[in-house]
Amino acid sequence: MATRTEAQEKQSAGSAQANPFQAIVMMAGGVVLPRCLHAAADLGVADALGEEEQKTSDQLAASVGAHPDALFRVLRVLSSNGIFEMTGRKVRHSPASRLLRSDHPHSLRSLARMFGLPGCWNAFNEFGYSVRTGIPAGTKTLPKGLWRYFQENPEAGRIFNEAMVGKAQVQVPAVVAAYDFSRFGTIADIGGGRGHLLQAALEANRSVHGVLFDLPNVIQDAGAVASDRLNLQAGDFFKDALPTADVYTIMEVIHDWPDEESVAIFKAIRKAAKPGATLLVIEQLIPEDKAPHWAKMLDIHMLTLPGGKQRTEEEYGELLRRSGFALERVHPTRSDVSIIEAKAA
């Protein structure tokens, strides 16, 4: 899901002060906006619009199998928020709606659909439970857990995997461009999924070798990425020994976990790491200001579903200190993630 610009955030804050009634009703009834986005993404409206200069909402409705007036009303809401452009009933693409196309190189269609999946959306029906207890509402709506939900529902799992790939297509090049991996001999990517980050780092640094560490089923699925420079190691970072490396990367894994489990993961890495080894924690940081920010909203998703949290730079520094690492610096990237660099003490 696209993040809001700084100008939009300032405008939103100013509007709330200028018209508090409007601020409350827009937020209280604001469930309409994401549901319209989910519906448009599910139906493939952006694909149906294609590269043509414009189509009418009725033409699009016929293409995607929607009720003409209902789709017009959905698109009217979306276009007033920057997704599609409308003049009367004529619809054009906006920069944001192009990202909903399945064939866009940085497509976010599956990411938008993922947030609307029943397993994700229904947890918010029990959101009050999370606020009262600090326990994820997903424990009530998904007794087997979010990851088991994706395993047992193949279509949902496919959408989730596509969402992660789409996000990685933006984030991974930004990480590789922002950090110099060439000075290391071996990179160990912990919880690295199908190896998108590790493959990109090795491609950009031809003298470096890598180890991809993840759960056995994930490593099995990632088998095709193995090479003479990229080894695969299956295991559970809560139970099994991690590989020895010069630098460890862990990208958008820690935010899935509460503090104590996060410390346990960091300690497992520290146990495998030699003194002076580098750890790169790649996450979206919560900024130390009062302005609206996507990371603050994502933090509520983490609270509600897996029970993790987004954190500030200071909070990561404390977790790392408790685990035997010292935070050295934070590297911003051109995407929404930052690289938190730490050294094994």
> In this predicted model, what pLDDT tens digit does every residue of 288-297 receive, in sequence order?
999 999 999 9
The pLDDT, as a whole number, for residue 53 is 82
What mean pLDDT comes out for the span 106-129? Answer: 96
CB contact at 8 A, 145 and 138: yes
* Residue 2, pLDDT above cutoff 50: no
Please write the tens of the pLDDT for every residue from 189-223.
999 999 999 999 999 999 999 999 999 999 998 99
Q: Strands across the sheet with 55-56, in order?
A: 55-56, 90-92, 85-87
- The mean pLDDT of the chain is 94
> What residues are labeled active site?
255
* Residue 3, pLDDT above cutoff 70: no
The pLDDT, as a whole number, for residue 6 is 53
pTM: 0.89
40-44 contacts at long range (C-beta below 8 A, 24 or more positions apart): 40/74, 40/75, 40/78, 40/83, 40/84, 40/100, 41/100, 41/109, 41/110, 41/112, 41/113, 41/116, 42/113, 42/116, 43/71, 44/102, 44/109
* Residue 171, pLDDT above cutoff 70: yes
